[in-house]
Amino acid sequence: MRRAALQAVVLAGLASACTGTIGAATPGPDPVFPTDGGVLEDGGCAPVSRNDEVRLALAGACAGCHLAGSRPYWASLTAFEALVYDPKYVTRGDPDNSLLVKLFKGTAPGSFPQMPPGERYDALLARGGASMSIADVERWIRELPPQGAVVAEPMPERFTVRRLTAEEMILSAMSQLGLTLEDFVDTSSPDWRTEEYTVRGGRFFIWPKDWAPGISRQYVSDARTVERYEALGGMAALDNRGKDVSIGPAAMQTLVQQSQAWCRRALEKPGNTAVLRHVALADRSATKAAEIKRNIGALHLRMLSEPATDATIEALYTRVYLPGEAQSTKAGWTAVCASFMRHPLWLSF
């Protein structure tokens, strides 16, 4: 289902998809968080229901620790509703008897009296780190619709974490980096899939044999296109090969090369702001350090679906970006971008 959706996205020329999930593999526009009144920045996905609106409004304060692991409440609307409709946490219509509200207020019994654990929610709110007031949370619980009032996409694997499949790695990388099939092959002929075709010069194409019916290993200029795909653990129905989502040396080696080649390609693509939103390639640390750090933070959010802490941004700036910039700004940004593609959060689902 998810993969079919991903394929449809890419094959439709990467029109942005609105899946309503906040996840590392989510294709489409940047992860979006609502501003006041539920209007979304960047013209991104609109929430699909009131509960989804609340989920997105709280994401900035809560999703950082609850996207994966044993309590991935923010990973999708379904996961969030598993929390919302658990009577242990929420009594519908009765915020005063809802543990969730006590967590916001810092008055919950047990070893975690408040969420987020490090800082009182009202303090976070006061300094602008959250947008939904506790009174709004209470109002929402008072008016909470019955469970199932809104049909959400089933997500049976919601409490497990696994590595992305090869297809997901290819499609979400393309989407996040602002690349399309056209960057790799000429798709102007309607029969391009069944004809021999040339991979545009040295572009490190990765594509499954199954997605190119009729041709087998005829990628004229780049015979390793299919080989790389198989190294990533991609399946090949024609060869009876199943999916392999283990993280072995072949997959990692291919991913390292892919991350570098594709990030560089994204930086070289004219007019592509997927990687550089807040700086230009010509900007250097001597005069634009603040913008560079801001861009590192934005890219972290875009690719890992999690806001970066200041310490993380600083570490990426000094240890990853600056050493690369000594060679060229392109090398600096390639290093930052490629490091995200090899991050466990990027690789997992």
> Which residues contact ligand HEC by CB under 6 A?
58, 61-62, 64-66, 70-71, 83, 89, 100, 103, 110, 112, 115-118, 121
Distance in Å, CB of 118 to ligand HEC, minimum: 6
CB of 135 to ligand HEC, least distance (A): 15
Instruction: Report the alpha-carbon distance of residue 300 to residue 31 in Å, rounded.
Output: 11
Q: Which is nearer to ligand HEC, 43 or 69 (CB)?
A: 69
* Least Å from the CB of residue 22 to ligand HEC: 13
Q: Which is nearer to ligand HEC, 121 or 229 (CB)?
A: 121
The nearer residue to ligand HEC, 252 or 345, going by C-beta atoms, is 345
Which own/partner contact pairs does 142-147 have at CB distance under 8 Å and 24+ positions apart?
142/93, 142/94, 142/95, 143/50, 143/93, 144/51, 144/84, 144/90, 144/92, 144/93, 145/50, 145/51, 146/92, 147/81, 147/85
For residues 19-53, one letter each, b for 16 or more C-beta atoms within 10 angstroms of the residue's C-beta and e for the rest, the string is: bbbbbbbbbbbbbbbbeeeeebeeebbebbbebbb
As given in the structure block, the two tokens for residue 238 are 């024609």
Distance in Å, CB of 109 to ligand HEC, minimum = 8
CB of 31 to ligand HEC, least distance (A): 16
Least distance to ligand HEC from the beta carbon of 300, Å? 16
Q: Between vectors from CA 85 to CA 80 and to CA 89, what angle results, nearest 5°?
A: 90
CB of 190 to ligand HEC, least distance (A): 49
Q: Is 106 left (phi over 0), alpha (psi -120 to 50) or beta?
A: left
- Comparing CB distances to ligand HEC, the nearer of 28 and 95 is 95
- Residues in the chain, how many? 349
Least separation in angstroms between CB 70 and ligand HEC: 5
| C-beta of 32 vs 226, nearer to ligand HEC | 32
Q: How far is the CB of 69 from ligand HEC (least distance, A)?
A: 7
d(CA 139, CA 137): 5
Pick between residue 251 and residue 313 the one whose CB is nearest to ligand HEC: 313
Nearer to ligand HEC by Cβ, of 257 and 312: the residue is 312
Tally Cβ neighbours within 10 Å of residue 290: 11
Cα–Cα distance measured from residue 97 to residue 142, given in angstroms and rounded to the nearest whole number: 11
Q: Between residues 10 and 101, which has the closer beta carbon with respect to ligand HEC?
A: 101
Q: Is 13 left (phi over 0), alpha (psi -120 to 50) or beta?
A: left
Token digits of residue 149 = 């009032």
Cβ neighbours of 332 (radius 10 Å): 23
Return all residues near 336 (Cβ < 8 A) that are at least 6 apart. Answer: 296, 299, 316, 320, 321, 324
Given its phi and psi angles, is residue 69 left (phi above 0), alpha (psi -120 to 50 degrees) or beta? left
Output 137 or 212, the one with its CB closest to ligand HEC.
137
